[in-house]
C-alpha cells in the first residue's frame, strides 16, 4: 500500500456513470463520465441495460485511472449508486436473468401491487419496519412484479439460482469476481429490510410475495471491507473496496452531516432532501421517509428524507424530449431573459409525485399558458418547479423539526449535485425558502462522500479528516424576495399541484 494515497470513487447514477480520483484534501486528481441508454418500453416504465451500466463503469474507471498511471496510487475504492434501481442475475453466470433489464427507481410498473397492499391495510406494518411507504419507487414491489410476469423466474428464485442486488451490489459482484454484499443505506431502500433490526425481514418478504430463497446480499456498514478487485475495469487485483453508500446518503456524508441536525439537498435527476437524526428512529406520518444514513465512522444511523422524483430530469426533458434547449446549461440564460414565468406553472409529475404527496398515478401538466407565453417562460417555469418541489418537502421537514424535543433549528440549506451550477435555480430556491442556500465549491459531493467512506474504511483517512466543511470557495445565495411574494408564488404552485393529484 506504500504510496497508494488516492481513492477511486465510482458514482453510478441514473443517466450516467462517473469515476473520480480524489486526494485526501478533496482535490479531484482525475475524472471521467459516460452517459448510457434510457429505456421506456411503456408509459411510466423505466429500464436500464445492466451490462451497459457495467461497461460504462469499467470505461470511466479505465479513463480516470490510466491518466499518468494513477492506478498505481489507488489505495481504496468507494461506490455510490442510484439506490432503488435493482438487477436480478444468475448466480452461476453473473448475467441478468433472461427477459429482464435493471428496473429503475423511476419506474411505476408495480403501482397496482402497491395499491392492493395498501387496500389490504398492510402499509402501517411495512412502514413501521422499513420507514418507507408502499410506493413503486422502492424495489420490493417491483421484484414481486417480475416474479409474476417473467416466465420461469419464480421457479428459479425458489431453487436459489437468482441474486438480487441494487446497483452497488451488481458492480461489486463484477469487480470482485462474485462477492455479494451491499451496505445498510442501500438495503434500507428495498422494502425488504427491517431498519430497526437492521436485517432482511422474512415477514416483509412474505408480505410482498417474494420467495425467501431469493439470494439477498450480505449487509455491512458503509465504511469497511467489502472485497478486493480481481483485475476488472483496467484495475490491478487486490485493491480493497471499502466504501459503499446510496447516492443521497453519500452526499449527506460528503457534506459532513454525520450528526443529528445535519441537512442537505441534492439536485440531480431527482431532488433529495435529508435530515440526519442520529441514533433516533423518527417515524413521520406526514409524507417523509425514515431511512438509514451514516455516522462519522460510516456506521448505520437514521435520517428523514423527502424524495422528489423529477428535478434535473425535467431539464433533460426540455433538451431531449421537446428539444427547446441544446444543453442543460443553456436553461439559465433563457430563464434570466424574462422577469418571471408570465403565470406559467409546470408540474413535472412525469413518473408520479413523490414526497409529500406519494401519488404514483399523477402525471405532468402545464398551467397558465396564454398567447404571450414563450419558450423562455416555459424553461423558467420548469426550473422553478424544481425549487417549488424542494420547498414543499423542506417546509414539512422544518415543521416536524420545530415540534420535536429538543427542536432542531434549520439555519441554512446546504446543496450539491449537478443542477446546483444553475445560479438562477439556487437564487430562486433561497427566495422561496427565506434562508441562505450554501453551495460548496465541489458540486459532486456524492462522489466525495463515497471516497471519504472508502478512505475511512481502508484506514487511510481518519473519520475526522478531510472534512468538506473546510473546503474553500463556498457560494451563499441569500433570499431577496419578500416573504409575502414568496408565499403567493407557493400558493399558486400548490393550487396547480392539487389539480394533478
Residue 412 pLDDT: 85
Q: Which three cell numbers stand for residue 440?
A: 460548496
**Whether 369 and 340 share a structural domain:** yes
Sorting pLDDT into bands at 50, 70 and 90, what band is 69? confident
Q: Report the candidate in 254, 205, 201, 239 with the shortest Cα–Cα distance to residue 80.
A: 254
Output the domain CATH number for residue 400.
3.30.420.40
391 falls within a domain: yes
**Predicted TM-score of the model (pTM):** 0.86
What pLDDT does residue 259 have? 86
- Indicate if 384 and 462 belong to the same structural domain: no
pLDDT band per the 50, 70, 90 thresholds, residue 489: very high
Work out the average pLDDT over 451-478.
Answer: 78
pLDDT at 228 over 50: yes
Strand ranges, E, within 69-222: 74-81, 86-90, 102-103, 162-166, 181-183, 193-194, 199-200, 218-220
Average pLDDT over residues 230-258: 91
Question: What residues pair up with 244 in beta bridges, in sequence order?
Answer: 79
Q: Are residues 431 and 449 in the same domain?
A: no
pLDDT at 195: 97
Cβ contacts of residue 40 below 8 Å, gap of 6+? Answer: 46, 47
Q: Are residues 182 and 243 in the same domain?
A: yes
**119-154 pLDDT per residue, tens:** 999 999 999 999 999 989 899 999 999 999 999 999
Place of cell 460528503: 254
Segment among 162-176, 238-252, 443-457, 466-480 with least mean pLDDT: 466-480
Query: What is the pLDDT, as a whole number, of residue 469?
Result: 43
387 and 455 belong to one structural domain: no
Whole domain around residue 361: which residue ranges?
308-439+475-498
In a domain, 358, yes or no: yes
Cα separation, 245 vs 83, whole angstroms: 8
Do 145 and 203 lie in a common domain? Answer: yes
Which pLDDT score, from 0 to 100, does residue 406 have?
66
Would the pLDDT of 110 be above 80?
yes
Asked whether the predicted pLDDT for residue 215 surpasses 50, the reply is yes
Residue 384 near residue 341 (C-beta atoms within 8 A)? yes
Residue bearing cell 413535472 = 348
Q: Among 51-65, 383-397, 441-455, 460-474, whose mean pLDDT is lowest?
A: 460-474
Domain membership of residue 431 (yes or no) is yes
**Which range scores top for mean pLDDT: 69-78, 285-294, 338-347, 413-422?**
338-347
15 vs 205, higher pLDDT: 205
Query: What are the Cα distances from residue 4, in Å, to 1, 24, 28, 68?
Result: 5, 11, 15, 14
**302 falls within a domain:** no
Residue 266 counted as domain residue: no
d(CA 142, CA 114): 9
Q: What percent of the chain has pLDDT over 90?
A: 74
Q: Is 299 a member of any domain?
A: no
How many domains does one find in the chain? 2
Nearest to 143 by CA among 86, 60, 64, 182: 86
The 10 Å CB-count burial string (b at 16+, else e) for 73-96 is bbbbbbbbbbbbbbbbbeeeeeeb
In this predicted structure, which of 88-102, 184-198, 257-271 has the lowest mean pLDDT?
A: 257-271
Say if 102 falls within a structural domain. Answer: yes
How far apart, in whole angstroms, are the C-alpha atoms of residue 85 and residue 168? 10
Residue 134 DSSP SS3 = coil
178 close to 120: Cβ distance less than 8 angstroms:
no
Rounded to an integer, what distance in angstroms lies between the CA atom of residue 356 and that of residue 348?
15
CB burial string 396-420: b at 16+ within 10 A, e below: bbbebbeeeeeebeeeebbbbbbbb
Give domain status of residue 290, yes or no.
no
C-alpha cell at 417: 449535485
Do 458 and 400 fall into the same domain? no
Amino acid at each position: 500500500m506504500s504510496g497508494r494515497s488516492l481513492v477511486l470513487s465510482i458514482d453510478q447514477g441514473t443517466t450516467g456513470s462517473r469515476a473520480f480520483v480524489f486526494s485526501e484534501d478533496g482535490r479531484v486528481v482525475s475524472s471521467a463520465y459516460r452517459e448510457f441508454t434510457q429505456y421506456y418500453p411503456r408509459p411510466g416504465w423505466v429500464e436500464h441495460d445492466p451490462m451497459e451500466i457495467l461497461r460504462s463503469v469499467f470505461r470511466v474507471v479505465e479513463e480516470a485511472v490510466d491518466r499518468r498511471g494513477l492506478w498505481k496510487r489507488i489505495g481504496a475504492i468507494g461506490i455510490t449508486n442510484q439506490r432503488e434501481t435493482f438487477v436480478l442475475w444468475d448466480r452461476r453466470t453473473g448475467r441478468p436473468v433472461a427477459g429482464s433489464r435493471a428496473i429503475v427507481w423511476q419506474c411505476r410498473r408495480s403501482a397496482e401491487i402497491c395499491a392492493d397492499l395498501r387496500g389490504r391495510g398492510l402499509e402501517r406494518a411495512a412502514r413501521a419496519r422499513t420507514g418507507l411507504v408502499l410506493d413503486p419507487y422502492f424495489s420490493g414491489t417491483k421484484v414481486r412484479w417480475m416474479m409474476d410476469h417473467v416466465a420461469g423466474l419464480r421457479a428459479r428464485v425458489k431453487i436459489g439460482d437468482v441474486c438480487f442486488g441494487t446497483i452497488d451490489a451488481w458492480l461489486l459482484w463484477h469487480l470482485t469476481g462474485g462477492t455479494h454484499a451491499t451496505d445498510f443505506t442501500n438495503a434500507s431502500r428495498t422494502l425488504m429490510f427491517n431498519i430497526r433490526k437492521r436485517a432482511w425481514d422474512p415477514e416483509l418478504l412474505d408480505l410482498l410475495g417474494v420467495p425467501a430463497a431469493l439470494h439477498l446480499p450480505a449487509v455491512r456498514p458503509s465504511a469497511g471491507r467489502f472485497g478486493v478487485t480481481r483485475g476488472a475495469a483496467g484495475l490491478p487485483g487486490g485493491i480493497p473496496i471499502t466504501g459503499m453508500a446510496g447516492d443521497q446518503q453519500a452526499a449527506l456524508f460528503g457534506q459532513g452531516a454525520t450528526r443529528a441536525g445535519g441537512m442537505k439537498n441534492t439536485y440531480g435527476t431527482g431532488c433529495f432532501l435529508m435530515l440526519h437524526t442520529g441514533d433516533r428512529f423518527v417515524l413521520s406520518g406526514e409524507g417523509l421517509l425514515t431511512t438509514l444514513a451514516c455516522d462519522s465512522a460510516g456506521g448505520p444511523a437514521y435520517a428523514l428524507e423527502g424524495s422528489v422524483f423529477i428535478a434535473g430530469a425535467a431539464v433533460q426533458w426540455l433538451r431531449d424530449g421537446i428539444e427547446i434547449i441544446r444543453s442543460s446549461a443553456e436553461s439559465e440564460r433563457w430563464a434570466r431573459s424574462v422577469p418571471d414565468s408570465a403565470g406559467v406553472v409546470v408540474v413535472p409529475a412525469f413518473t408520479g409525485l413523490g414526497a409529500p404527496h406519494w401519488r404514483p398515478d399523477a402525471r405532468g401538466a402545464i398551467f397558465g399558458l396564454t398567447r404571450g407565453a414563450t419558450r423562455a417562460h416555459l424553461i423558467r417555469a420548469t426550473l422553478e418547479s424544481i425549487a417549488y418541489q424542494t420547498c414543499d418537502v423542506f417546509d414539512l421537514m422544518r415543521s416536524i423539526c420545530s415540534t420535536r424535543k429538543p427542536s432542531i433549528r434549520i439555519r441554512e440549506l446546504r446543496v450539491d449535485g449537478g443542477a446546483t451550477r444553475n445560479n438562477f435555480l439556487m437564487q430562486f430556491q433561497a427566495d422561496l425558502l427565506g434562508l441562505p442556500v450554501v453551495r460548496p465549491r465541489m458540486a459532486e459531493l456524492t462522489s466525495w462522500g463515497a471516497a471519504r467512506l472508502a478512505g475511512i474504511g481502508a484506514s487511510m483517512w481518519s473519520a475526522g479528516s478531510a472534512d468538506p466543511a473546510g473546503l474553500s470557495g463556498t457560494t451563499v445565495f441569500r433570499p431577496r424576495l419578500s416573504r409575502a411574494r414568496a408565499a403567493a408564488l407557493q400558493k399558486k404552485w400548490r393550487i396547480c399541484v392539487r389539480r394533478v393529484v
